[in-house]
Structure 1
Amino acid sequence: MKKTTLFFSLFLIAIFFNACSKELSLETTGLGGSAKGTLTDSAGNCKNIIVKGGYVVGQSVGDSNYALVNVKFTAQGKYKITSDTVNGLWFVDSGFATQTGALLVKVRAKGKPILPQKSDFVLTLNGSVCTFSLSSANPGANNDYFPNTFGSSWTYRFVPPLQTPPNWFTTTVLTNTYRIDTLTYFEFQQVDSMNNKSSYYFAKDGKGNYYAYSTIEFDYTTVLDSIVPVAKSYVSYPFMKESANVGENWTVSQPGTSWYKGQSGTSQAVFTVIQKGTPYVAGGTTYSDVIAMKREIQFKASGSTTGFAKIAEGTAYYARGTGLVDQVFPRSGGTTQAITLKTATIK
């Protein structure tokens, strides 16, 4: 009888102790409690949030859609990272932090985009807040790297600002189309802050190749003094190829006679793929799927025996579903001049 009573007493004590232990773990740190952590560093700054996956209007997001977020955990336990809901999308992740320190957390996207637009999200964890942006696109043709639907527009700004205006311009797709070399070119009209207007012409063949009908110079930026005859200075050429691998390049010759710094000669552009399908941040927005194309302008003076020499180079960044988001030109002293996307409206 004494043995039975003793056994029963020990059993009750064990149950009581176990219950107290569970309650204690829920109220303190450890895997059963709440984790402590922050989205910012010791200076209160947010680290870059990388958004993965494509976001297409009317299509539910899947496993490939998420944000990679830097979190600094100071105590183990349960955590939950959430965002607000914008344009039919939100981000959320919950789980256990099994260790402290800096960790990269995958915060999954939920929902489906309603409109083709740039959306800004606020991410929170334990009262700490960071923001990030993403762009959603219409399905079909405009989910490539260079949308060209009528009415679509992009506003760019110069970074840093130019010493004299203009400091921004807007490019809009007009209804005008032109058939050149079996391709249908769309007219893109540029209007700057001084109300100066220019037209540019772009096409795509539906096979992942993108074309310009222009001189070989950069989009919205000129390098050569002039090209003669002017009437024959335009050429149809590919400026981007989705199938090209990183490091692959091709050369486009400029028709006519090129003039540069008072000298006549010939010029050409060499296009090189330097980035493909990777994230890129432009104007504070992270674009998850970007192709970067370096364009090098080369010039050879008439009578020269030394061949072509580089006179300028720049890198253009094209984001899936958005188009051109940045152009960066190196300058002396290690600085750069950029033409960066501010806003985009894809129809």
Structure 2
Amino acid sequence: MIGEAEIAAAVRVLRSGRVVQGPEVAAFEEEFSELVAGRACVAVNSGTSALQLSLMALGIGPGDEVVVPSFSFAASANAVRLVGADPVFADITPGTYCLDPLAASAMIGPRTAAIMPVHLYGHPAPMDQLMELAARHGLAVLEDACQAHGATLHGRPVGSFGEAGCFSFYPTKNMHALEGGIISTGDPHLARTLRLLRNQGMEQRYENEIVGANMRMTDVAAAVGREQLKQLPAWTEQRRANAKVLDSHIEGLSVPHEADGARHVYHQYTVRIPGGLRDSVQQDLARQGIGSTVYYPTPIHRLRPYQGQGRPSLPETDRAAAEVLSLPVHPTLAQAELERIAQAVSDAGGVR
């Protein structure tokens, strides 16, 4: 959603002449840090860049392995490959669609350097168990929080558990910045390394300290992000309220699970439709003018770039890919629209 405040902010920046990594970016980083328990934040040009630069800053590269869930957007594994490391795919828990600590534990080997939990659909991964697992094996933890702005576990925000947390500001996210990403970290040395890496390896112009890249955020994006950030709390509460309406009106189907102590921010509201009926239900909803999407129809380990890595047994991942369907939950939906969505999906896939 783009409103007048975002448009005015973008125009203000364009008129200022400071359009790349200037005062708006610095202000956005400072303001976003409040969402991640005061951790340092480093803004970049995308969520994928956030993941890639975090892995680089952690020293992860060729010869290393990173445990990731296969049930996620490909960027989670792509970032690992882009630094020359190998993603090792682990299964998920069926209720939350997040990385299963037991499955992750089984995939740890002598080359494992990190674990990358994904807070999928806006639900926090089981960070307490995953942090304990990482500590036991001396592994770094990189949180893929690209879908989970403002989600918490036992009152602690996602992006504040691991060595680094990565967020995306792509336009489909709960808040956006036209395009962009941000990395949160509690390690000042890591934060400085990230700032160098995003800016050709230099803090002062022409004084390159390391090999870096151009992954900077523009001030236009940051200005839009700042306005969106102001609205995020209200939008999140509306998403949660909308999810409760859907929960109470959908019959005959499994609705999203919210684990004990978790605060789901419902980037997606995802139901399960078993029995091979998911695609026909989606078509039925489309005929009624109700949009729905499958996130994700093909697990990452079955995508072409990753098929050469053996054939891991990920039964919960495969079941989820065949059954999940995400319904509208965005903040602009009215009560009547939510009830109509719930009735339609119940009739098509549940109670007949």
Query: What is the TM-score with the length of structure 2 in the denominator?
Result: 0.25
Higher relative contact order (CA 8 A, sep 6+): 2
Query: What is the TM-score with the length of structure 1 in the denominator?
Result: 0.26
* Structure 1 or 2: more strand by fraction: 1
